[in-house]
Amino acid sequence: MDTKAEIDSPSKSSFEKSTFEESSTASSASDRDANRLKQLGYKQEFKREVSLLVQTGFALASMSPLPNWLLGFGGSIAAGGPMSLFWGILVLLPFLLCSALAMAEIFSAYPVNGGVYSWSYLLSSPKWGPLLSWVCGYVMLGGLLAAQMTVGYSVSQYTFSIQNILHPENAITSKGAYIGLTVAYLLASSAYCCLGIKASAYMTKFLVFMAVAGTFIIVIGMPVMAPTHPSAKWVFTEFQNTTGYENSGLVFFFGLLQAGWTLLCYENGAHISEGTKNAEVTGPRGILISVITAAAQCIVLCVATLFSIQDLEEIQNSSEPVATLFLRATNESVAAFFLVILLVSQFGTLTTLTMAAGQLLWSMARDKCIPNYKFWYKLTGKNKAPLRILTINCLVCIIFMLPSLGSEAYWGAMMSTTVICMNTAYLIPFACRLIWHRNDMPKGPFNLGKFSVPITILAVLWIIFFGIILCIPTINPVSPETMNWASLMIGGIIILALFFWVIGGRNYYKGPMHTAEDTSSASSTKE
């Protein structure tokens, strides 16, 4: 039988034969975490400083329903109207929970920073493991980069919306100004992440407070101040279709992009699992709590927003739909205050996504999954931050933002690309589990028992279906300006991953690296 190369890489049997009873021999929780990580082939390199609150908050901050549900509000309402926005959340939620449960079960079995990228290897066969893990890592990284760019651009949008509301006579609409400010925000978030995981934990706690306080202020203040309110029948049953398609069912599914974009990145806590206390228990709990909390927050925001709309057509035609919504429902000062809440929350989301991308890319460098991996695999300073990784991550985002200067449709495609990439990255370990470890996947403290396989199958089927929907152009007839370029972007990411694989990766990448016994080389990579 074929076996994976054992040089620098743990054997597959060592992963499958290890038991969680053995990992509890140490007296303290920290020792148990380090022991479990060692069983998975890694030595402890990060301080265990992340609690359940931070794990939950990290995933919740990555989703950040408060600013992100409103981010695509203007465009999504054209595909189904109020009915699609509200009922879309409820349609998506059962399948989202299936995916989250399947993800939590795998997290409990394999609490490593690589997340879905490492899980794809651990759950596959010796022959296919390295390639699937390699592709999953690049697809996941592509999704996180696209999310960073989209969120960073939205922060600049909120900033200029505040300026344009308070000083309409000096309104700023230049694309160059938006891109320039986005670059500044990307640099600021990268700089903050250089302070390390502990600083990220402080940011996460602050964002949890902002999520609660900000949602409370907006969902109460906006409807109370709104001059008029649409009827409940309009909010819950009004279906509008301005897409050009005649198939109402297809149009309704187009409207799910709003919920799909917001209820995403719930697995990001896995990227800080090696800094999490009792990760095999805390991680799965963080995923499930964050998903349920985010879904509830989305529903509350949706209802409050729909009951506050004054002129739907004006919002659809506005270049700043969120600002228009707030301005018509309240007044200039309050609208600006609401946008400040969104701005602060969204910058926190950007920082969280930057940290997640940095941790994933660092894990890929550790495992020889990126070119010049020896140069990138380095933790710098007393905060043990991957400075070089964060620098290249920021630079790549800046470069790939430049095409947006030529087309506004670029950002809609970028949002769809994020959703498709992330869901594809989720799909790969789920599929590997069903193909190669349907009945013998190692069990962690959190497991689904006899419901594990059916739930995973439902998650896989939904991800495939939703991915196809998101690749279809949302405007008919299709033109270069309205074309959905998401399929081209995800295809480009996969082609790039396969290119790197063919020219070198297949020769030196053998799966997640065995670093547990390589203390000398590890220490030399740190300053």
Best CA proximity match to 63, nearest among 378, 271, 348, 253 = 348
Which portions of the chain are predicted below pLDDT 70?
1-30, 45, 74-75, 408, 512-527
The answer to whether the CB of 238 falls within 8 A of the CB of 347 is: no
C-alpha–C-alpha distance, residues 75 and 250, integer Å: 16
Amino acid at 432: C
Best CA proximity match to 398, nearest among 363, 354, 365, 368 = 354
CA dihedral 8, 9, 10, 11 (to 10 degrees): -120
Is the bond preceding residue 477 a cis peptide, omega within 30 degrees? yes
Check: pTM over 0.85? Answer yes or no. Answer: no
CA 31, 32, 35, 40 torsion-angle sign: negative
Q: What is the pLDDT of residue 18?
A: 45
Q: What is the pLDDT of residue 75?
A: 67
C-alpha–C-alpha distance, residues 468 and 460, integer Å: 13
C-alpha–C-alpha distance, residues 319 and 432, integer Å: 43
C-alpha–C-alpha distance, residues 146 and 129, integer Å: 26
The answer to whether the CB of 430 falls within 8 A of the CB of 459 is: yes
C-alpha–C-alpha distance, residues 425 and 84, integer Å: 26
Q: What is the pLDDT of residue 319?
A: 81
Q: What is the pLDDT of residue 23?
A: 40
In order, the DSSP letters of 77-142 are: TTBTHHHHHHHHHHHHHHHHHHHHHHHHHHHHH---TTTHHHHHHHTS-TTTHHHHHHHHHHHHHH
C-alpha–C-alpha distance, residues 284 and 276, integer Å: 12
Residues in the chain: 527
Q: Which CA distances in Å does 165 have to 73, 159, 243?
A: 19, 10, 30
Give the 3-state secondary structure percentages of the chain, helix then strand then coil, rounded to 5: 70, 0, 30
Which SS3 state, helix, strand or coil, does residue 385 take? strand
In DSSP terms, 50 is beta-bridged to: 276
Q: What is the pLDDT of residue 227?
A: 95
Q: Which CA distances in Å does 236 have to 60, 84, 91, 216?
A: 27, 9, 14, 22
Q: What is the pLDDT of residue 12?
A: 46
C-alpha–C-alpha distance, residues 342 and 155, integer Å: 8
In order, the DSSP letters of 143-198 are: HHHHHHHHHHHHHHHHHHHHHHHH-GGG----HHHHHHHHHHHHHHHHHHHTT-HH
The answer to whether the CB of 374 falls within 8 A of the CB of 37 is: no
Amino acid at 367: D
Q: What is the pLDDT of residue 515?
A: 57
Question: What is the maximum span of the chain, computed from C-alpha positions, in angstroms?
Answer: 74
The answer to whether the CB of 295 falls within 8 A of the CB of 56 is: no
Q: What is the pLDDT of residue 26?
A: 37
